[in-house]
Amino acid sequence: MKNFISNKKNLIICLMILIMIFMGTASASSIHKVEDYKNQIKLVRENLSNYTEESNDKIKELEKKLTNFERVKAKYEDDIAEKENKLQTLQAKLDSLEDQSIKIKELNNQVESLKSENVSLKDQNNNVANESSKTKEETSSNNSESSTTVHITNTGSKYHNAGCRYLSRSDIMVTFSEAKSRGLSPCSVCH
Ligand SMILES: [Zn+2]
């Protein structure tokens, strides 16, 4: 019985040794696998870091492009604002020119109406001058006629200058207008 136990002990020890050896190889293969995994992880990490660096580079490049683009955009916006200002200034100038043109037209109209007024005033002036000269002529002729004296007879239908032979019977001095008002006509001998 003791032998059996000691045999069994031996057997268990043998088994234990066997198990330990097996475990050792198993763990050795496990260690290899772990190494493999570690290497793979290392590779993945390297790839990942490479990829990340590339991505960062690309991101930096894109950010640069974006900055440039924003700069260009700002410049264009400035240009556009400047051009809009110029456009507004030009529009204002155009408006004031149109105002001036309207004023000039109004002034031209005023000048035209003043010219026509001037012409009609000149006409009126001429008329007045003509009328006044006519009146003067009439007045002077009237004056000369009324102040001139003629000679008439008692019965004759003519009026005479002094010394006419028809004045031998009667010789009456009257004004020319008096003779006219009597309906007398000039004598054909003395006139
Ligand atoms: Zn006479």
Q: What pLDDT, in 10s, does the model give residues 53-68?
A: 888 889 999 999 999 9
Residues 101-152: pLDDT tens digits? Answer: 999 999 999 999 999 888 888 888 888 877 777 665 555 555 555 678 999 9
- The Cα 169–Cα 155 span in angstroms is 10
CA triple 100-101-106, angle to 5 deg: 95
- The Cα 120–Cα 134 span in angstroms is 20
- The Cα 14–Cα 127 span in angstroms is 163
- The Cα 130–Cα 136 span in angstroms is 10
CA dihedral 170, 176, 178, 184 (to 10 degrees): 70
First to last CA, the chain: 213
- pLDDT-derived band of residue 100, with 50, 70 and 90 as boundaries? very high
- The Cα 76–Cα 60 span in angstroms is 24
DSSP 155: S
Structure tokens at 13: 């020890």
Say what the pLDDT of residue 3 is.
62
- The Cα 98–Cα 92 span in angstroms is 10
Q: Any idea which of 7-11, 81-85, 128-132, 137-141 has the lowest mean pLDDT?
A: 137-141
Q: What are phi and psi of 150, to 5 degrees?
A: -125, 170
DSSP 158: E
CB-count burial class (<10 Å; 0-12, 13-18, 19+) for 149: middle
- Report CA(148)–ligand 1 centroid distance (Å): 16
- Report CA(97)–ligand 1 centroid distance (Å): 85
Q: Any idea which of 94-103, 134-143, 162-171 has the lowest mean pLDDT?
A: 134-143
Say what the pLDDT of residue 2 is.
58
Of 169, 133, 125, give the one whose Cα is nearest residue 151: 169
- Report CA(158)–ligand 1 centroid distance (Å): 7
- Report CA(182)–ligand 1 centroid distance (Å): 16
- Report CA(139)–ligand 1 centroid distance (Å): 27
Domains of the chain, by residue range, sit at 149-191
- Report CA(159)–ligand 1 centroid distance (Å): 7
